[in-house]
């Protein structure tokens, strides 16, 4: 089979964000990708681009995905088509499979599921080409009907054996008569001990098998006598649970059940990926809590100072009011007092608002982000820490900076990590410089955090972004800050680099791509 970078793929979807994200993901995986905003444009691209695989949305204005599928199969029968459906569109998905779609994936599209579907489509495409070659071979007279039948059966056996999904088939009495290699690998059973010896029930617990049979007979998972994208749990040869997603169909003959075929997809890898994502989220939150701990004392002092001033001014005014009506010559003085109270109260409010915004544990929310606002909030939160460390702050920040696309909370976490690291590097005081500017070709926002601290040794520079690597004394850090920051910036499509001279300070530079303005395709909705 050819490698991924030789496989042209066409994405048809009326939502530009989905097209862009899917295209970037596939190009990163080595595919050659083109996109189209609707079915008409997609068919035109098929003529020009000649994709081997088409990924099309079902719900599109004008020509829907089913019509696109039918037309492609008529005009380009060798092209494999993967349809994207919502969870409530299983009947449409079944209709797509009946029209020879190679697979379907549910929305929202997960990268792992999409890659599995593409692998299946590539395998199916290669298989079709092999079958075509084989047919041409027969047409040249190199074989006759008997040999054709034997080869066809053998080829079908190879298709079953090479399937990435486990395939298990049962006869009318329930005995297993098909058990491919993927099933052997998944459950650890040898087919010799399975075929014509055990029933499908052998691979389930009693509770799971009863639920499976009840749901197979019901109509809630694809219709009576069939299951679609049904999650259950098998048992391997050691009686250990194996989570799977299955599709099953009862085979009918003369209105009677003649057997059952099941396709099993092993979910253990997907579950491991989900767990890794959850672990990563915990690490991000752990790093944020460490940053909050470093902020706590500083923010307490920062709020206490204006509160003390507010309290003193209020006491002065109360004392004056207790002595009687306020003389007219003191109105201006009280007005100044109230202005100071308002100013200091606003200062406290900004500090608390910035702290709450940063500390709130919320799901990742990707959207337009103002770098100017992130810089302002970070300066508010870190200012007193700088004053306590006898560190002066210099800023060279362009205003306004263009927006970037990402999660504001995570990007602020990155900036505070770099500021706190700079503060830790200047134990005897110094100057912290925050710079931010926009660059063209490519359009990028560049943020620099520069300190005049102790710097980083040359032999440590290659390791500073590794998890749990730290140059700080024990008890002053566990080496997660820079690693977490690097990972966040990388996931935002940016880069984080460092330059340092031992004894002369360091500069950390963040580069983030600018969010391009959304442009509607010609003829698209405004």
- CATH at residue 283: 3.30.565.10
Tally of structural domains, the chain:
3
Do residues 418 and 392 both lie within one domain? yes
- Reduced to 3 states (helix: H, G, I; strand: E, B; else coil), residue 333 is helix
Task: Report yes or no on 525 lying in a domain.
Answer: no
CATH number at residue 88: 3.40.50.2300
Residues with Cβ within 8 Å of 39's Cβ and at least 6 positions away in sequence, in order, are 12, 56, 60, 62, 63, 64, 65, 67, 68, 71
Q: Of 119, 145, 171, which marks where a domain is finished?
A: 145
Q: Would 520 be classed as within a structural domain?
A: no
CATH number where 206 lies: 3.30.450.20
Q: Does 154 map to a domain? A: no
Helix (H, G, I), strand (E, B) or coil at 425: coil
For residue 29, give the 3-state DSSP assignment. Answer: coil
Q: Rounded to an integer, what is the distance from CA 48 to the centroid of its chain?
A: 32
Residue 8: the pLDDT is: 93
Q: Which residue has the tokens 């579950």?
A: 271
**309 and 202 share a domain?**
no
Whole-Å CA distances, 488 to 65, 108, 138, 450, 511: 36, 22, 57, 20, 12
Q: Looking at the domain assignment, is residue 333 inside a domain?
A: yes
The verdict on residue 157 lying in a domain is: no
The CB-side HSE value for 40 (13 A sphere, CA atoms) comes to 6
Residues contacting 150, CB < 8 A, separation 6+: none
Residue 385 has pLDDT above 50, yes or no: yes
Residue 480 lies in a domain: yes
DSSP 366: -
Least confident of 28-42, 205-219, 238-252, 345-359: 345-359
My answer on whether 355 and 437 are in the same domain is: yes
* pLDDT value at residue 495: 94
> How distant, in Å, are the alpha carbons of 120, 184, 273, 497 from that of 268?
18, 15, 9, 36
Per-residue tokens: 120: 């299946």
User: Do 334 and 195 fall into the same domain?
Assistant: no
Provide the domain limits for residue 179. 163-266
Query: Considering the domain boundaries, does residue 364 fall inside one?
Result: yes
**Of the residues 232, 266, 300, which one is the last residue of a structural domain?**
266
Helix (H) or strand (E) holding 61, with range, is: none
pLDDT digits (tens, 9 = 90+) for 144-199: 655 655 666 666 677 777 777 888 989 988 899 889 888 888 898 998 888 989 99
**Is-above-0.75 flag for pTM?**
no
pLDDT of residue 407: 86
- Sheet containing strand 103-106, strands side by side: 32-36, 8-12, 53-57, 80-85, 103-106
- Shared domain check, 437 and 377: yes
Buried b (16+ CB within 10 A) or exposed e, 370-405: ebbebbebbbbbbbbbbeebebeeeeebeeebbbbe
- Please indicate, yes or no, if residue 522 is contained in any of the structural domains: no
Question: With 90 as the cut, is the pLDDT of residue 99 above it?
Answer: no
- Residue the block writes with tokens 């391997």: 236
Q: How far is CA 262 from CA 164, 196, 217, 447, in A?
A: 13, 16, 14, 55
As a whole number, mean pLDDT of residues 125-142 equals 74
pLDDT at 416 over 50: yes
Q: Among residues 48, 40, 61, 64, which one has the least CA distance to residue 8? A: 48
Is pLDDT of 448 > 90?
A: yes
Please tell me whether residues 18 and 167 are part of one structural domain: no
Last residue of a domain, one of 234, 266, 298: 266
Predicted confidence (pLDDT) per residue in 343-363, tens digit: 778 767 766 765 565 555 555
- CB of 368 closer than 8 Å to CB of 403: yes
- Whether 108 and 186 map to the same domain: the answer is no
Instruction: List the Cα angle 329/332/337 in 5-degree steps.
Output: 125
């Amino acid at each position: 089979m050819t490698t991924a970078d030789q496989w042209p793929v066409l994405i048809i979807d009326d939502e530009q964000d989905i097209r862009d994200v899917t295209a970037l993901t596939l190009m990163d995986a080595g595919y050659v990708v083109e996109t189209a905003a609707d079915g008409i444009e997609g068919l035109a691209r098929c003529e020009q681009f000649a994709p081997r695989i088409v990924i099309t949305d079902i719900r599109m204005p004008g020509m829907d995905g089913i019509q696109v599928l039918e037309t492609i199969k008529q005009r380009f029968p060798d092209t494999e088509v993967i349809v994207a459906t919502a969870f409530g569109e299983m009947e449409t998905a079944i209709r797509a499979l009946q029209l020879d779609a190679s697979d379907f994936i549910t929305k929202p599209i997960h990268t792992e599921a999409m890659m599995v579907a593409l692998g299946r489509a590539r395998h199916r495409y290669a298989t079709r080409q092999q079958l075509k070659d084989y047919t041409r071979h027969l047409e040249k007279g190199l074989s006759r009907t008997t040999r054709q039948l034997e080869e066809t059966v053998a080829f079908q056996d190879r298709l079953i054996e090479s399937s990435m999904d486990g395939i298990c088939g049962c006869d009318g009495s329930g005995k297993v008569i098909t058990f491919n290699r993927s099933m052997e690998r998944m459950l650890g059973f040898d087919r010799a001990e399975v075929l014509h010896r055990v029933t499908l029930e052998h691979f389930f617990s009693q509770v799971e098998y009863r639920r499976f049979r009840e749901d197979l007979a019901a109509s809630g998972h694809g219709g009576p006598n069939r299951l679609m994208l049904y999650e259950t749990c098998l048992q391997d040869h050691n009686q250990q649970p194996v989570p799977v997603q299955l599709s099953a169909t009862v085979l009918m003959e003369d209105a009677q059940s003649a057997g059952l075929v099941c396709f099993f997809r092993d979910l253990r890898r997907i579950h491991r990926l989900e767990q890794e994502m959850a672990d990563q989220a915990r690490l991000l939150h752990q790093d944020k809590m460490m940053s909050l701990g470093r902020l706590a004392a500083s923010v307490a002092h920062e709020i206490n100072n204006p509160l003390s001033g507010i309290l003193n001014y209020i006491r002065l005014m109360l004392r004056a009011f207790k002595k009687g009506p306020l003389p007219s010559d003191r109105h201006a003085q009280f007005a100044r007092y109230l202005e100071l109270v308002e100013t200091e109260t606003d200062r406290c409010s900004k500090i608390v608002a910035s702290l709450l915004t940063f500390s709130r544990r919320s799901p990742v929310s990707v959207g337009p982000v103002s770098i100017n606002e992130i810089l302002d909030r970070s300066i508010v939160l870190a200012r007193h820490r700088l004053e306590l460390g006898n560190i002066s702050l210099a800023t060279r920040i362009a205003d306004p900076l263009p927006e970037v696309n990402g999660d504001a909370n995570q990007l602020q976490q990155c900036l505070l990590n770099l500021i706190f690291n700079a503060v830790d590097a200047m134990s005897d005081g110094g100057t912290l410089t925050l710079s931010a500017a926009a660059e063209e070709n490519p359009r990028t926002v560049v943020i620099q955090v520069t300190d005049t601290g102790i710097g980083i040794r040359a032999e440590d520079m290659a390791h500073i972004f590794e998890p749990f690597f730290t140059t700080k004394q024990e008890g002053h850090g566990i080496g997660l800050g820079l690693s977490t920051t690097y990972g966040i910036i990388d996931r935002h499509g940016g880069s984080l680099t460092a330059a340092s001279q031992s004894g002369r300070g360091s500069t950390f530079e963040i580069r983030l791509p600018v969010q391009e303005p959304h442009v509607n395709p010609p003829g698209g909705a405004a």
